[in-house]
Amino acid sequence: MSSISDYRKLEESITIDAQPHPEHTELLTLNIGPHHPATHGVLRLIATLEGEVVRDIKPVIGYVHTGIEKTAEQKSYWKVIPVIERMDYLSYYFNAMAFCGAVESLLGLEIPPRAQYLRVIHMELNRIMSHLVWLGTSALDLGAMSMFWYCFRERETILDLFEMSSGQRMHTRYFQVGGVFEDIPVGFAAKLQAFLDEMPSRADQYADLLEKNEILLARLRDVCPLDAETLLSLQTTGPLLRAAGVPWDLRKTDPYSSYDHFEFKIPVGTVGDNYDRFRVRHAELYESTKIIQQALDGLPEGPYISDDRKVVLPPRHELATSMEALIHHFKLVTEGFRVPEGEVYFPIESPRGELGCFVRSDGSAKPARVHMRDPSFVNLQTTAPMVRGSYIADLIASLAMIDPVLGGVDR
């Protein structure tokens, strides 16, 4: 028995820096990816290792570059929405919101309150869905495989709701310039309420499965912390920044689409290690549920899209009776609406951070430049400072906690 406790004492006294290992003065360059089960998408990491310890890391991206911004310049504003939605493929409503918000501010268009509340409902559902996919795949990376099935069970319920309101599970092109495409059908509210009733208990289930698990705690607690100053100098936003203790959330500081009508808290961490990042995102599940509940309870009556016929299609029953409606419809479908000249930057809070859309219009029916400031692209720069000096296993865990979505990184 005494020999075992001596071994434990010896084990505890070893730290990474304390042992100068004569055989490990050589650095090994290892290529991780782009095809790798644990990088979230096609991310290539060139890791410089000393033994098992990561000394430097260089992310190489561009393997999913789709030229979305260039394609968006060729299409009229209405047709850009499906193209721009496919950028950050887990938060498609946010991509559409950023673009529609930018175009609406260029046009000076008023969004009816019902449309704003519907947008909030769908965006928060998308936030929950994105966090669920993150939770499932991160737990898969860490080895807790059964979380994947639990999270995707909830995700299927959310996708059923999306299919009810817009007909598509993913990339729904539900948000239009001026509001939303269609009103929610009968039965949506009931199904949404059923989902909201069970979601907090499901989130409790996830916490019960993971939080007391020693292996998970050992892999996440005090692993790869980054303080707020470094994160701010690297322009990080979103749950990464909030885990380090900075309560910065654009839904509170710079509200858009009537987020200031709702009462919700912002989960903030203390240390900024992987465990805080995990807890912040998990707590956001509860907060998003609260927001959707308030939006559903207070959903105002009214039109679901603006009635400015120069921008928004007239309802189909008007086409049979009104000549102007027919002409507007024709103009909008063939050429599209023209946006006055100007440049605007519209930032929103996506599940990964500040998602901004820059639109430059030259007065014609097609945008002259659409640029999406994607949070994952900027947040990926934190990989290198985060994992220097830790093990490869911690690298995998940290990458999971950064939650990069390579569609947004590469656009």
Residues that bind other proteins (CB under 8 A): 34-37, 41-42, 61-71, 73-74, 82-83, 86, 89-90, 133, 136-137, 148-149, 152-153, 155-156, 169-171, 232-236, 248, 253-255, 343, 345, 347, 354, 356, 358, 360, 368-369, 371, 373, 377-378, 380-381, 406-407, 410-411
Instruction: State how far the Cα of 95 lies from the Cα of 92, in Å rounded to an integer.
Output: 5
Q: How far is the CB of 87 from other proteins (least distance, A)?
A: 10
DSSP single-letter state for residue 305 = B
Q: Which residue lies nearer to other proteins by CB, 87 or 184?
A: 87
Helix (H) or strand (E) holding 370: strand 369-373
Which residue in 214, 122, 206, 127 sits closest to 162, CA to CA?
122
- Within 167-306, residue ranges assigned H as helices are 188-210, 214-220, 228-233, 239-243, 250-253, 274-297
Q: Which residue lies nearer to other proteins by CB, 225 or 328?
A: 225
Give bridge partners of residue 356 from the DSSP assignment: 347, 373
Q: Which residue lies nearer to other proteins by CB, 151 or 325?
A: 151
Q: How far is the CB of 316 from other proteins (least distance, A)?
A: 25
DSSP SS3 for 202? helix
Q: Which residue lies nearer to other proteins by CB, 152 or 319?
A: 152
Q: Tokens 């014609």 identify what position? A: 364
Instruction: State how far the Cα of 118 lies from the Cα of 113, in Å rounded to an integer.
Output: 9
Q: How far is the CB of 151 from other proteins (least distance, A)?
A: 9
Instruction: State how far the Cα of 46 lies from the Cα of 29, in Å rounded to an integer.
Output: 7
Q: Which residue lies nearer to other proteins by CB, 141 or 276?
A: 141
Q: How far is the CB of 407 from other proteins (least distance, A)?
A: 5
Q: How far is the CB of 116 from other proteins (least distance, A)?
A: 16
Q: Which amino acid is residue 152, in one-letter code? A: F
Q: How far is the CB of 312 from other proteins (least distance, A)?
A: 23
Pairing of strands 44-50, 28-32: antiparallel
Q: Which residue lies nearer to other proteins by CB, 233 or 270?
A: 233
Distances (CA, A) of 320 to 324, 337, 378: 11, 22, 50
